[in-house]
């Protein structure tokens, strides 16, 4: 009985905190959302979906979004392309290595 009351009390406190958070997010004078993305088709589509969800999905509680930051944009003159591609290549090699190690550990048969 006491554990049930404790659980109810904890749940009620959490619910009240969520109401406070909802009030904060819906108050355009107190908060706004900043979308940060990269310049790829998938990331841009997800950012557009997020922007739509934040501003139009709930007309009774729109969240203000004034800015979108796009990272990893290459210079038009191409001077940073090699550096960027080297970074991507290094990152991919590391990720593939991690996957190979995981597969090897999962491939070990139990005795």
Q: Which of 105, 45, 38 is nearest to 73 (CA)?
A: 38
* Gap between the Cα atoms of 57 and 65, Å rounded: 13
pLDDT means over runs of 10, the chain (111 residues): 93 94 82 92 95 80 86 89 91 95 80 59
Phi-psi region of 78 (alpha: psi -120 to 50; beta: other; left: phi over 0): left
> Model pTM?
0.58
DSSP classification of residue 111: -
| Per-residue confidence (pLDDT) for residue 67, from 0 to 100 | 92
| Per-residue confidence (pLDDT) for residue 65, from 0 to 100 | 86
| Per-residue confidence (pLDDT) for residue 24, from 0 to 100 | 84
Q: SS3 for 36?
A: strand
| Per-residue confidence (pLDDT) for residue 111, from 0 to 100 | 59
* Gap between the Cα atoms of 109 and 100, Å rounded: 16
| Per-residue confidence (pLDDT) for residue 12, from 0 to 100 | 95
């Amino acid at each position: 009985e006491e554990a049930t009351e404790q659980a109810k009390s904890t749940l009620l406190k959490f619910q009240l905190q969520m109401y406070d958070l909802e009030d904060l997010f819906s108050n355009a004078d107190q908060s706004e959302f900043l979308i940060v993305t990269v310049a790829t088709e998938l990331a841009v589509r997800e950012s557009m979906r997020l922007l739509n969800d934040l501003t139009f999905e709930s007309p009774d509680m729109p969240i203000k979004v004034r800015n979108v930051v796009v990272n990893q944009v290459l210079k038009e003159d191409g001077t940073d392309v090699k550096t960027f591609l080297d970074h991507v290549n290094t990152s991919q090699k590391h990720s593939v290595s991690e996957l190979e190690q995981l597969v090897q550990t999962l491939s070990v048969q139990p005795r």
